[in-house]
Amino acid sequence: MDVLLVVDMQEGLLSGGPKHDLLAVVERINRLALRVRQSRGSVFFVQHAGPVGDEFEPLTPGWQLLSTIKTEPCDRVVSKTLNDPFFQTSLQSDLAELRPERVLVAGWATDLCVDATVRSAAALGFKVIAVADCHTVSDRPHLSADKVISHHHWVWANLLAPHPVRIAREAEV
């Protein structure tokens, strides 16, 4: 059984610079989530909860999941306040209870919250697949979005963890 973690795909990400391939990333996440649900897996939406006045302040428009992301009543939501969705949340115990064969990671932003998710899940011993075409980021001052993504794929594939992190495209998962 697979668990799909969809990280921070919230309306607030639409502020700031354009996100690399966002429309196609959302379409692929929706397809992958549907396949995971159909195979009796679980989909978790990790939702960032920022402080008062932040773009991701709870119960504000920016905090809401993207309107283009398809959710189902069976999906779970985990609220986080830092990059790492395992820090002071129920995510680790939720996954331990489900005992997934694989943890699939998708979402925004490649170099921050997606990276923290991949690293923590791998360090905790889960078999992680970073879904290569299901995460996005904006250009950074020092690096284009596609280079940020490419760099993180290399880093994740070379992490020292109980199980190697696999990088795979949505169609391969």
Distance CA 25, CA 6 (A): 11
pLDDT at 47: 98
pLDDT at 78: 98
In the chain, the domains with their CATH numbers are 2-172 (3.40.50.850)
Average pLDDT over residues 79-93: 98
Q: How confident is the model at residue 155 (pLDDT cuts 50, 70, 90)?
A: very high
Q: Residue 118 is encoded by which pair of tokens? A: 């991949």
What order do you get walking across the sheet with 42-48 strand by strand? Answer: 76-80, 42-48, 2-7, 102-108, 128-136, 166-168
pLDDT at 148: 98
